[in-house]
Structure 1
Amino acid sequence: MPDASAAFDAPFEGVLLDLDGTLVDSIAAVERSWIRWCGEFGVDPMRLRGMHGVTAANVIEGLLPPEQREQAHLRIREIEVADVDDIVVLPGAAELLRALADASVPTAIVTSGTRDLAEARIAATGLVHPPVVVTASDVERGKPWPDPWLLGARLLGVDPGECVVIEDSMAGLRAAREAGCRGLVAVTSTTAPEELRELAGVVVPDVAHLSTEVEQGRLRVHV
């Protein structure tokens, strides 16, 4: 197996960051929202296990018959957008986004949430809004497919092979690897470190533990 850490030998031209579980802790709001949704649609909440990092549309596709999916998707969006209580910025996230913005490093948030949900959570936490935000509303196939990462890189004008991805879910990391992103950084907020090490070259508790520096508009990640 190739050494995943070798991908970090050179600085990255672009930075692609997941939102929930990577930059913000929204787990309380997510759990409240989906438990409420499950009650309304008669779904056992235990069936949601293993779905972290997957778009709501893809989750619902595996839970409900076709005739219910559109209504169910609209409803979970409505519930989640209205509930931004208890969403907090994870350690180091605000500082990293600010540093990337100040140094003009091409940066995108790439999330499995819809556009309205992503914007509500960014606004609620006061995070620096990067120039590009890719959501499930912008792609036909969200995570676990590579499309969101590919779109994020394209909108930044950066080859995916020159991008570092920072993500907390296995679904997101697999999608980023399939997209050809060179460096994969995992944070352990929602997934066990030993699982994440199967894919990521760097595994940290949160981005505050990530050692970085900017070199001429590029981000170097120290392994």
Structure 2
Amino acid sequence: MSSRECGPAAVLFDMDGTLVDTEDLWWDACVEVAAGLGSPLGEADREALFGLSVEDAALHITAALGTAEAPGARAVEALLTDAFTDRLENGVTTLPGAVALLEALCTAGIPAGLVSASPRPVVDLVLETVGEHRFRLSVAAGDSVRNKPAPDPYLAAAARLGVDPAACVAVEDSPTGVASARSAGCAVIMVGSSGAVSGVTAVPTLESVDVPLLRRLVSHPGTVTPRT
């Protein structure tokens, strides 16, 4: 029996906004850093920054500064990471259905991986809340040559697990993450309210995701109907 028939070979989860409720914390960190550099952010920036890696967020903020005295993108990356980490140290909340789904995967013998665009210090802090033992591996910013939306993080996770990306399901919450997972060849399920992506199964929360749905996603690529 092929991995597609019995799959998935692995389920690869995005972190921020997918497993844990950190989107507002990330936005607050971006606002703090940008304001400190003399470039307040608006609602249009919030939409632009949604799902971006810290590297791309730093580029967005430095581009908005537009002055010769502005710090380099690497310096802004460090400021963003520190501001975000400070907020995470006060604790994070797992999103509905996250822990139950991870436990269901463990019971079914399906490995789970964490594939995040966030830096390693951020990922490790969140793993303390979600439980590092629930994941076979984690991939953070810098663990692959390119970050999302390039396919590299998902390809790296599949390679480390020794599985075919096409036999994996990626769970994402942003168009940036969906683009990364799809270009790696993974089946994708999109969770949350950030808008539909053509050809991708969407659910409101992880409470609508179970092992049979994940199996259908790898055996019948494309959109499938989740349980209600």
Length-normalised TM-score, structure 1: 0.83
The alpha carbon displacement at 1:213 in A equals 3.8
State the one-letter code of the partner of 1:58: D
Q: Write the distance in 1 (CA, Å) between the matches of 2:46 and 2:58.
A: 10
What residue in structure 2 maps to residue 68 of structure 1?
72
SS of the residue corresponding to residue 171 of structure 2 reads strand
Unaligned runs of 5+ residues in structure 2 are 64-69, 217-223
What residue in structure 2 maps to residue 5 of structure 1?
none
Conserved 8 A contact 2:148-2:180: yes
What residue in structure 2 maps to residue 109 of structure 1?
114
State the one-letter code of the partner of 1:75: L
What residue in structure 2 maps to residue 79 of structure 1?
83
CA RMSD of aligned residues (A): 2.3
Task: Pick closer, same or farther for the CA change 1:206–1:171 going to 2, 3 Å.
Answer: same
The alpha carbon displacement at 1:141 in A equals 1.2
Q: Write the distance in 1 (CA, Å) between the matches of 2:133 and 2:24.
A: 22
Matched, 1:22 2:18: yes
Q: Write the distance in 2 (CA, Å) between the matches of 1:63 and 1:75.
A: 11
Q: Which of structures 1 and 2 has the larger relative contact order (alpha carbons within 8 angstroms, sep 6+)?
A: 1
Q: Write the distance in 1 (CA, Å) between the matches of 2:102 and 2:18.
A: 12
SS of the residue corresponding to residue 88 of structure 1 reads coil
The alpha carbon displacement at 1:50 in A equals 2.2
Unaligned runs of 5+ residues in structure 1 are 1-7
Q: Write the distance in 2 (CA, Å) between the matches of 1:32 and 1:63.
A: 13
Give the number of equivalent residue pairs: 206
Matched, 1:170 2:175: yes
Q: Write the distance in 2 (CA, Å) between the matches of 1:111 and 1:71.
A: 21
What residue in structure 2 maps to residue 206 of structure 1?
205
The alpha carbon displacement at 1:86 in A equals 5.9
Give deviations 1:181-218, integer Å, cap 9, x for gaps. Answer: 1x2101124x02xx33x141x2111111113249xxxx
Q: Write the distance in 1 (CA, Å) between the matches of 2:62 and 2:17.
A: 26
Give deviations 1:23-71, integer Å, cap 9, x for gaps. Answer: 1111231122111111112233133432222211122123326951121
Q: Write the distance in 2 (CA, Å) between the matches of 1:67 and 1:79.
A: 16
What residue in structure 2 maps to residue 140 of structure 1?
145
SS of the residue corresponding to residue 89 of structure 1 reads coil
Conserved 8 A contact 2:104-2:211: no
State the one-letter code of the partner of 1:177: R
State the one-letter code of the partner of 1:40: G
Match among 150, 165, 171 for residue 160 of structure 1:
165
**Over 6 Å off, 4+ runs:** none
Task: Pick closer, same or farther for the CA change 1:125–1:163 going to 2, 3 Å.
Answer: closer
Identity %: 28
The alpha carbon displacement at 1:172 in A equals 0.6
